[in-house]
Structure 1
Amino acid sequence: MSDGDSSISDHPIVVMCDSVARPLAFLGSAGLLSMMLHVSADVGSRLMFGGPLPATVEIVSRYYMVLIAFLPLAWVERHDEMISVDLLHQVLPPSWKRLSSQVVSSVVASVYLSLAWTTWKTALSNYATASFVVALNYKIPVWPSYFLVPIGFTLAAVTCAVHAIRPGAANDASAIEQHASENRT
């Protein structure tokens, strides 16, 4: 099989993206479940004991929300599940659709890289100062959560760059997932 005929899923960068994106998406899902349990326990504590669990708001906003929003970005990009508006895209001929997808993926990858760089500098700054929040006289370190954001943006940028270089990566990802789920049943 020639290089042009090989499946996009065999490309080392795609394999690397998938091997990192899936666990990060799973971690984001685990964060969602943990947040649900934590907030439910907080509500239960308020009802049964007349007071909230300490630092629930801080932990939810500084850790869970960051996990949920940023770690699954690459998985969402890989599966072409990001919100999009395809007003003109549907009327374009196939070659223009491919070019449009490549240009959009390139621009989005650039934006993600810019965001990754900016948030990386912020994470380093927060690490250097050991950022924390005070809740009920307890210091809760928040600097670790700042590193989740550039990790999510960087992997999403790599995923978009793969889409730009090899259009159809998202369609191939959907086909791979469908094939895997059919083989499980």
Structure 2
Amino acid sequence: MEQIRRAVDALMSVLATLAAVGVLAMMVHVCADVIWRQVSGGPLPATVEIVSRYYMVLVAFLPLAWVERRGGMVSVELLEGFMPQGLIRISDVVVALIAVVVYAGLAYASWGIALRNYNTGTFVTALQYAVPVWPTYFLAPLGFALAAVIVLLRGFFIATNRDWHSAGAGE
């Protein structure tokens, strides 16, 4: 189990790093666009399209699993104060299973969309430049699938009464 936890935490570090690189790249790109506008009087080609179709998609979907691993998603614990520990554990496992189904459904649906966009070679035109955007459609199913795996592992750890939050979970 410790090897699984270490592998998950290593993957979460990679996802957090990719998201941070995406934020930094977006910041540098937008700053370069502002500077270029001042110097040349015109925008860098496709800045809006690249920021909205690449950086923001990367930052929105890839860190989902990282947020799930850290326990950062919204949770409602209104009745937990009145429930015995065993019932809380059952409730947490049921919630994890529901989340897995939702994430898996979103991954499946967005995978079909990604394949359609890949097959058609989806692009946007910005200042007479064709910017291919089909690759970014694969980030959503990847993010949802990774989140589903993390929630499934969390549910397994809870169901088997193992500590999910130790070893770098961020709690």
Q: TM-score, normalised by structure 2?
A: 0.89
Query: Which range is displaced more, 147-156 or 86-95?
Result: 86-95
2:99 aligns with one of 82, 90, 108: 108
Distance, in Å, in 2 between the alignment partners of 1:99 and 1:148 is: 32
Report the counterpart of residue 38 of structure 1 in structure 2.
Answer: 29
What 5-or-longer segments of structure 2 have no aligned partner?
none
Q: How does 1:1-185 map to 2 (within 5 A)?
A: 8=1, 10=2, 12=4, 14-167=5-158, 172=163, 174-177=165-168
Q: Is the 8 A contact 1:42 1:53 kept in 2?
A: yes
Structure 1 residue 39: deviation in Å? 1.1
State the aligned residue count: 169
1:35-78 residue CA offsets vs partner (Å, 9 max, x unmatched): 11111111222233322111111001110011101111111111
Structure 1 residue 174: deviation in Å? 4.3
Distance, in Å, in 2 between the alignment partners of 1:150 and 1:178 is: 23
Structure 1 residue 15: deviation in Å? 4.2
Q: Is the 8 A contact 1:127 1:143 kept in 2?
A: yes
Structure 1 residue 178: deviation in Å? 7.7
1:2-28 residue CA offsets vs partner (Å, 9 max, x unmatched): xxxxxx4x153x444333332122101
Distance, in Å, in 1 between the alignment partners of 2:137 and 2:123 is: 11
Q: TM-score, normalised by structure 1?
A: 0.82
Distance, in Å, in 2 between the alignment partners of 1:172 and 1:48 is: 56
Instruction: Quote the RMSD (CA, aligned, Å).
Output: 2.2
Secondary structure at 2:167 match in 1: helix
Distance, in Å, in 1 between the alignment partners of 2:166 and 2:8 is: 16
Query: Residue type of the partner of 1:144?
Result: P
Structure 1 residue 90: deviation in Å? 3.5
Q: Is the 8 A contact 2:62 2:140 kept in 1?
A: yes
